[in-house]
């Protein structure tokens, strides 16, 4: 067996070093590695120092070392990275699952703070990293980089890794921090990608106030349009399933339609030069609020687990590949003549990531606290430190943007570009492993879990057991509690200013119950499939 495995590795290494096509052998080994990542990640799940991202990275590094030895230093990869395939196939299931599983009440309750961190914070981080990189790299004499390259670096290293965040923060133990860090991560990724694309399109020879205002206007337009597209497609899917009731005849068709329409929202956004990340995220939120509750019980369970499974495979794929690509001999050869510069550049970028994030987390947290009516809702210093630390990890989006700017399908022949790629790999590896190792212990140290937690049932589709009566009872009690709040018409504006969350929530529930649910279905609506027996005709 050992000789067979060794010969297979030699064939794989020889193939990947000589061709960019994918062979059956390479796919087979990669699938085996994915299975190994999932199994080992499960066995190490209880270790507070380990998460699945780090497990996949180490397995990727180990495989890369074996491939280098088997091919005598020619190649460390099984597959060749393609940033376009990453954005089209790998990223959508991760973001959709995040929107589908997110606790909507926490997300929208903190939407102002999330937008503040995700949009304004990313702009601040972008400026700090771009300006700092220009100053430091010119001092280090890294090589010839244009203004566009420095701005691209700002966008690349402003993109946080929401995938790692999902694995190091628990949605049930720290719901506030989870919603803030993850929500910020989604908006942050969209903002970073928008910045990056704008840098490629805009004429940077003359930067003035008019161009800056045009850029801001384009971003706001893209944000709103992308969100609306996701909402519209999510509502369309809910309406189709409610009217046609696919689940009565075929659960498979019902689930297939949901998955395909979610992916369709992402593809349409990309075709229209919008943010597919924002579109598929809000499509997932709308589907979890309306579409999911129009399904039969078997379709609900299948959809939830299908979404989570695809996301898990995509996440594992990303970190496994990054681990192998970190040992790519082609890039390291180009920077071998000046290793000190490469190390110095990596350290400088890592320091700028730390400073760039601190430069907006603490000031914007202070501004956010000023708008809070209650001390209980304010972010204390320990929470701010946790938010700052949890967002330091860089991952797949940074890698994809770096390859897009400084390489073509994973290859480059320019020493300056190779330095930027190796720096990105170094920062991603260091931040994922070191910060990932320390995040869970840091959260437990700063925010220890209470000795006893109240036995509350999540209002979101968190497990198959939550599909039963307690879920509906909680929603009914919530609706009755909200309904008991009397909001006089003459004082609506005053109440909106004094308690905006309760007032907006009250009017949203009224609008949702009166107009939205009768048309699109959803939880609590009398005509939803979950409240009809399988033999009943739909009205």
Give the model's pLDDT for residue 528: 45
Q: Is the pLDDT of residue 408 over 60?
A: yes
Q: Mean pLDDT across the stretch 401-416?
A: 70
409-446 pLDDT, tens digit each: 555 667 777 788 888 888 988 888 888 778 777 877 88
Q: How far from each other are the two terminal CA atoms of the chain, in whole angstroms?
A: 63
Give the model's pLDDT for residue 473: 37
Give the Cβ contact number of residue 201 at 10 Å: 9
Bigger pLDDT: 522 vs 460: 522
Structure tokens at 342: 């490469």
Rounded CA separation 278/534 (Å):
36
Lowest mean pLDDT among 24-33, 37-46, 204-213, 476-485: 476-485
Q: Mean pLDDT across the stretch 307-322?
A: 86
Lowest mean pLDDT among 133-147, 283-297, 331-345, 452-466: 452-466
Residues 195, 407, 222: CA angle, nearest 5 degrees: 20
Q: Mean pLDDT across the stretch 209-226?
A: 79
Q: Is the pLDDT of residue 284 over 80?
A: yes
Q: Mean pLDDT across the stretch 302-321?
A: 87
Give the model's pLDDT for residue 463: 38
Q: Mean pLDDT across the stretch 308-319?
A: 86
Q: Is the pLDDT of residue 358 over 90?
A: yes
Rounded CA separation 423/402 (Å):
10
Q: Mean pLDDT across the stretch 207-220?
A: 74
For the ranges 28-37, 108-117, 403-412, the one whose mean pLDDT is highest: 28-37
Structure tokens at 321: 């590949």
Give the model's pLDDT for residue 390: 82
Instruction: Look at the alpha carbons of 417, 418, 421, 426 in this order and tell me if their dihedral is positive or negative.
Output: negative
Q: Mean pLDDT across the stretch 260-276?
A: 90
Give the model's pLDDT for residue 325: 75
Q: Is the pLDDT of residue 47 over 70?
A: no
Rounded CA separation 353/359 (Å):
10
pLDDT band at 532 (very low <50, low <70, confident <90, very high): very low
SS3 call for 174: coil
pLDDT band at 206 (very low <50, low <70, confident <90, very high): low
Give the model's pLDDT for residue 369: 85
Give the model's pLDDT for residue 441: 79
pLDDT band at 351 (very low <50, low <70, confident <90, very high): very high
Bigger pLDDT: 471 vs 87: 87
Give the model's pLDDT for residue 490: 46
Which helix (H) or strand (E) segment is 5 a member of? helix 2-18
Q: Is the pLDDT of residue 498 over 70?
A: no
Give the model's pLDDT for residue 14: 42
Lowest mean pLDDT among 336-350, 425-439, 450-464, 497-511: 450-464
Judge whether 431 and 353 are in contact, CB under 8 Å: yes
R_g (Cα) of the chain, nearest Å: 24
Judge whether 54 and 429 are in contact, CB under 8 Å: no
Bigger pLDDT: 53 vs 482: 53
Give the model's pLDDT for residue 197: 77
Judge whether 334 and 415 are in contact, CB under 8 Å: yes
Judge whether 364 and 121 are in contact, CB under 8 Å: yes
Q: Is the pLDDT of residue 283 over 90?
A: yes
Q: Would residue 410 be called left, alpha or beta, if left means φ above 0 and alpha means ψ between -120 and 50 degrees?
A: left
Judge whether 475 and 530 are in contact, CB under 8 Å: no
Q: Mean pLDDT across the stretch 283-307?
A: 88
Give the model's pLDDT for residue 22: 53
Q: Is 218 exposed, middle or buried (0-12, 13-18, 19+ CB in 10 A)?
A: middle
Structure tokens at 470: 């307690």
Q: Is the pLDDT of residue 288 over 60?
A: yes
Q: Mean pLDDT across the stretch 54-80?
A: 79
Look up the pTM and report it: 0.76
Give the Cβ contact number of residue 509 at 10 Å: 15
Give the model's pLDDT for residue 132: 92
Q: Is the pLDDT of residue 354 over 90?
A: yes
Q: Mean pLDDT across the stretch 7-26?
A: 51
440-492 pLDDT, tens digit each: 778 778 877 655 444 443 444 443 333 333 333 334 344 444 444 444 454 55
Q: Mean pLDDT across the stretch 101-110?
A: 76
Structure tokens at 537: 């005709």
HSE, CB side, 13 Å, CA atoms: give it for residue 191. Answer: 27
Judge whether 360 and 125 are in contact, CB under 8 Å: yes
């Amino acid at each position: 067996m050992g000789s067979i495995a060794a010969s297979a590795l030699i064939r794989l290494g020889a193939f990947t070093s000589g061709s960019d096509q994918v062979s059956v052998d390479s796919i087979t080994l990669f699938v085996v590695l994915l299975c190994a990542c999932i199994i080992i990640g499960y066995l190490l799940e209880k270790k507070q120092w380990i998460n699945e991202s780090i497990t996949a990275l180490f397995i990727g590094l180990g495989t890369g070392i074996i491939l280098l030895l088997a091919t005598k230093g020619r190649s460390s990869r099984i597959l060749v990275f393609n940033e376009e395939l990453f954005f089209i196939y790998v990223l959508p299931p991760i973001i959709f699952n995040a929107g589908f599983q997110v606790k909507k009440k926490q997300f929208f309750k903190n939407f102002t703070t999330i937008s503040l961190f995700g949009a304004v914070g990313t702009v601040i981080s972008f400026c700090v990293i771009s300006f700092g990189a220009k100053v430091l790299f010119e001092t280090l004499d890294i090589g010839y980089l244009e203004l566009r390259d420095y701005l691209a670096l700002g966008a690349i290293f402003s993109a946080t890794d929401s995938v790692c965040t999902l694995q190091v923060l628990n949605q049930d133990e720290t719901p506030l921090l989870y919603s803030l860090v993850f929500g910020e991560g989604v908006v942050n990724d969209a903002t970073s990608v928008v910045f990056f694309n704008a840098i490629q399109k805009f004429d940077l020879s003359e930067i003035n106030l008019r161009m800056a205002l045009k850029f801001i206007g384009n971003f706001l337009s893209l944000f709103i349009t992308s969100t609306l597209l996701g909402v519209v497609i999510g509502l369309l899917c809910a309406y189709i399933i409610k009217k046609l009731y696919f689940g009565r005849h075929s659960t498979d068709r019902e689930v297939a339609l949901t998955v395909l329409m979610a992916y369709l929202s992402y593809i349409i956004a990309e075709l229209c030069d919008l943010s597919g990340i924002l579109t598929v995220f809000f499509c997932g939120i709308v589907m979890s609020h309306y579409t999911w509750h129009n399904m039969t019980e078997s379709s609900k369970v299948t959809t939830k687990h299908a979404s989570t499974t695809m996301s898990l495979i995509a996440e594992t794929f990303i970190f496994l590949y990054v681990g192998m690509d970190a040992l790519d001999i082609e890039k390291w050869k180009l920077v071998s003549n000046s290793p000190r510069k490469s190390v110095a550049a990596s350290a400088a970028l890592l320091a700028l990531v730390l400073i760039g994030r601190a430069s907006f987390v603490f000031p914007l947290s202070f501004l956010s606290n000023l708008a809070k009516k209650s001390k209980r809702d304010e972010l204390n210093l320990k929470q701010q430190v946790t938010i700052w630390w949890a967002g330091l990890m860089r991952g797949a989006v940074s890698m994809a943007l770096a390859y897009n700017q400084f390489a073509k399908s994973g290859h480059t022949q320019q020493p300056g570009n190779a330095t930027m790629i190796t720096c990105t790999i170094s920062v991603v590896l260091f931040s994922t492993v070191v910060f990932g190792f320390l995040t869970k212990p840091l959260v437990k140290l700063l925010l220890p879990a209470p000795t006893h937690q109240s036995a509350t049932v999540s209002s979101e589709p968190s497990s198959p057991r939550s599909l039963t009566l307690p879920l509906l009872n909680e929603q009914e009690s919530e609706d009755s509690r909200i309904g008991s709040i009397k909001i006089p018409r003459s004082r609506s504006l005053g109440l909106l200013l004094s308690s905006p969350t309760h007032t907006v929530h009250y009017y949203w529930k009224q609008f949702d119950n009166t107009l939205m649910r009768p048309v699109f279905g959803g939880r609590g609506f009398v005509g939803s499939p979950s409240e009809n027996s399988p033999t009943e005709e739909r009205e």
